[in-house]
Structure 1
Amino acid sequence: MLIDFSFKNYRAFKDQQTISLVASNDKELIQNTISLDFLQDIKLLRSFVIYGANASGKTTVLDALNFCRTLVINSARYTPEQSIEVNPFLLDNESKKEPVEFEFSFIQENVRYQYGFKVTPKQVLEEWLISYPRGRARKLFQRNCHEGKNNFSFSSFLKGEKEKLIELTGPTALFLSVGATFNNQQLLKVYKWFSEKLVGVKASQIDLGIFLRAMNKSNFKSWVREFIKFSDLGIADISIEEEDLKLNKIPHDTPEVVVKFFEFIKDWAEDQKQEGARSLSVKFLHQIGDKLVPFSLNDESEGTKQLLALSLPIINALTKGQILFIDEINSSLHPLLVQSIINLFQNPEINVLNSQLIFNTHDVSLLDKSIFRRDQIWFTEKDSKGASHIYSLLDFSPRKQEALGKGYLQGRYGAIPFIGELPKEEIDLGKK
């Protein structure tokens, strides 16, 4: 579970920003919070929504999460010459030269961790990891770069070979990534939070092919059946059949080199067939009168396709206790379908593994006190110098009975576009 995430000098954000999934003392919608025995002093939020004008930084917040995840997973394989693809705030001459900073506070296997790093495109300047078993801080390692040289300090709490790991850690590689790659069990545990628990998707770019391939798994198939019934898509059931791999006949006027290529593919397909490789035919059965009528995926609406594609990361998150962050969740989806997705995460009887959902949206209909607590609603806005900021609805102390959607559209909380007036002069496109 994610407790909070801080970042500084990353793309549109110049100053340090923090998103917090720590619940306030508000007693409303207590089911939207997570209580843990070993975190007696705090509760965590099950979901977190970000509003803001276009180009205000909503997507950048999620990009920051994804950037960190990617760097942790991949940087152990970076060559010494390989750069870190990170962009600082560019509208300030000093910020261009400064490192980009990130820090996470999270829970993995019932232990709280604090992990962070400062990087430039050329090197990791700082990196640190602290664990809090039974609430007591233990600094596992600290890394500082001075005059191009890495300096490490370790506590006795970090076990295993360290000198070899230092030698293997290049200037743009995270020590956490290297340590996990070479099987340090303590670092691997933290690494797995990033690689297995923190998952991001862009709703408009999810590959439906992944969904179709996953349908071959019986447990996922049963989950999808329940998911489509829950979402009221008008689909009564799903039919899945395996078929032999097929290749169309080659036209007689096909060039010889292409013919040979197709013959090679045909031979390969026959080999795969003998080894049990099959293609899947997925049909969606709609109840029309007393009959079930099969529809192919291409026959379904764009909204249905997107929801089906989203079902894979949603089901994975709920069955694996993941933190799922979704960019553009309402693309092609009806607001009530988005609300049904939110309800999956906010229902403790369904979300038994305490998964968390973070997403951005423009959908004002979700700004409803029956859906979200006030501490779950956040906004992004740019200041006069072009720097983005993220802040909580709680900063405005809204009344409990306040109409949040109306207040937002009236500009009470900021984070809306400034729309000027068109010139008063008559515009006649027919005149020259």
Structure 2
Amino acid sequence: MLIDFKLSNFLSYNEEQSLSMQASKIRKNSERLHICNQYANNIKLTKCCTIYGANASGKSNIVSSFSFARKFIINGFPSGYTNKYFRLADNKDIPSHFSFDLLINESIFRYEFSVSLSKNVILSEKLSEKVKDLSILLFERDLISDSFTVGEYFKKQQSIDKLTMYGNDSLFDKLTLFLTIINRSNAKMFSENPELIILLNIYNWFAHSLKIREPSLLSSNKPIFTEDNLPLISKIMRLLGTGITSIHLINVSTEYVKNALPADFYESIIDKLHKSNTKALIRSNYTEPTITASSTNEYYMFKIDRNNKIHISTIEFQHENNMTNFGLIEESDGTMRILNLLEILLDNDNCTFIIDELDRSLHPKLTTEFMKMYLSLAANKDTQLILTGHESRIVAEELLRNDEINFIIKNPNGASIMNPIEQFNLRSDKSTYKALFDGDIKEISPKIDTSEIETSINYHSVT
């Protein structure tokens, strides 16, 4: 689970800003908190974080920062980020820093790295365990001084020797994080050195537990639209008033899908399937490897069988008990959005989901009903949801704890500033909705001068 995320000098964020999932002392809806008392860590975590703010305040940039870090950790330095530092100041040569505090198997770890975006190089990287006020180092990599240090966390000499070898070799690669390097095809190393599995667990949180829902094409090893799930999903869609009465999987040709998807994306899926099948075939309980490709208006489920033959299916819909089938692209934007969000409700893997503009294309009532369902289900699992949006009904209906609400503003220099609503110490009898949206807290109210706008329009019309 995510505890805290910090970033600096990235997009509209200049000095370090923090997004925290740590719960305060308020008692409201305490049943849906995750409480960790093990290993001397007394910590309570929320399972929801909402981020409000005016247009262009920096909400989407928080999502982009998570996305950048995830891509970096999984695939190496992403392309296209050389000018993504904070450009409203002379920050070109200032490091961009990213830090994650994570709860892994009820222990707290901090993983952090610094990069020079303008030069496309890694500057430093560090992983440590947090126990009360102590910081226990796992490894530290400094590419400025070309040094790699294995910390006191590891006790076995074999583990220390392995890390030292990989760490020293990594000093020649300024585009790939050590966490990425150590997890490349090292299954045997982890089985022979169980003490090192923590490095795999940290990597897997980013690769598999951190799920960022963006309009772009995404791939996943976990299909949602399976034959087992379709009756339930069809029922949910009907109860939500979409008009959909049934959903079906239909086969599509590889040639059709190959033409529909970007070539490199398609080839990467096929390559992963073949590699997964090689491993699956030597197991006693063989299961066909599956990968899904999905976006706002596309969904394909890829399977590979024992003979290495690829099978691809997609979903089609029937409405109002009519037997006519409709493709996903023929459905409304709202229906597509609901289907995209259903994974959060159905997921049982305790993931951290990040969604930009939850309310996009959704009726306000659907948005609040989705939140009610999520928050109710969250009491029984450790899924987390971080979302941005403008839908104020979520706050007006008192669905959230105050420590689940954040507001972003821009300071006079154009930098985005994260404001947890808790810092304003609202009175217990004060409506959070009124404070946020009726101007009670002037610092976070959008400054809109309608009279000046009207005057300017009238002047322009006259001239």
TM-score range, shorter chain: 0.7 to 0.9
Q: Percent identity?
A: 24
Stretches of 4+ aligned residues off by more than 6 angstroms = 133-136, 243-247, 274-279, 428-432
Inter-CA distance 200–426: structure 2 relative to 1 (3 Å threshold)? closer
Q: Which residue of 2 aligns with 1:157?
A: 153
2:95 equivalent among 90, 96, 99: 99
Q: Which residue of 2 aligns with 1:296?
A: 326
Are residues 1:343 and 2:372 paired? Answer: yes
Q: Which residue of 1 aligns with 2:138?
A: 140
Structure 2: gaps spanning 5 or more residues:
191-196, 257-304
The 8 Å contact of residues 32 and 47 in structure 1, kept in 2 or not, is answered as no
- Tell me how far 1:244 sits from its aligned partner: 7.8
- How do residues 44-193 of structure 1 correspond to structure 2 at under 5 angstroms? 44-75=45-76, 85=82, 87-93=84-90, 95-121=91-117, 122=119, 123-132=121-130, 137-146=135-144, 149-158=145-154, 159=159, 161-165=162-166, 166-169=168-171, 170-183=173-186, 185-193=197-205
Q: Which residue of 2 aligns with 1:258?
A: none
Partners of 1:214 and 1:116 lie apart in 2 by 31
Q: Which residue of 2 aligns with 1:417?
A: 446
Are residues 1:221 and 2:230 paired? Answer: yes
Q: Which residue of 2 aligns with 1:403?
A: 431
Letter in 2 for 1:233: T
Partners of 2:365 and 2:400 lie apart in 1 by 14
Q: Which residue of 1 aligns with 2:27?
A: 27
Letter in 1 for 2:179: L
Inter-CA distance 35–431: structure 2 relative to 1 (3 Å threshold)? closer
The 8 Å contact of residues 5 and 18 in structure 1, kept in 2 or not, is answered as yes
Q: Which has the larger radius of gyration?
A: 1
- How do residues 321-332 of structure 1 correspond to structure 2 at under 5 angstroms? 321-332=350-361
Are residues 1:196 and 2:219 paired? Answer: no
Partners of 1:61 and 1:68 lie apart in 2 by 11
Structure 1: gaps spanning 5 or more residues:
248-271
Deviations 1:225-257 (A, max 9, x none): 35425634343332445578999xxxxxxxxxx
Inter-CA distance 382–164: structure 2 relative to 1 (3 Å threshold)? same
Query: TM-score normalised to the size of structure 1?
Result: 0.79
Q: Secondary structure at the match of 1:35?
A: strand
- Tell me how far 1:53 sits from its aligned partner: 0.7
Partners of 1:117 and 1:387 lie apart in 2 by 21
Inter-CA distance 42–186: structure 2 relative to 1 (3 Å threshold)? closer
How many positions carry a matched residue from both structures? 390
Partners of 2:14 and 2:405 lie apart in 1 by 22
Query: TM-score normalised to the size of structure 2?
Result: 0.74
Letter in 2 for 1:31: E
- How do residues 388-399 of structure 1 correspond to structure 2 at under 5 angstroms? 388-399=416-427
CA RMSD of aligned residues (A): 3.4
Partners of 2:248 and 2:233 lie apart in 1 by 12
Q: Which residue of 2 aligns with 1:378?
A: 406
Deviations 1:94-138 (A, max 9, x none): x33210111111112332211101111332222110124799642
Inter-CA distance 229–112: structure 2 relative to 1 (3 Å threshold)? farther
The worse-fitting range, judged by mean Cα deviation, of 319-328 and 83-92 is 83-92
Inter-CA distance 374–153: structure 2 relative to 1 (3 Å threshold)? same
Q: Secondary structure at the match of 2:348?
A: helix
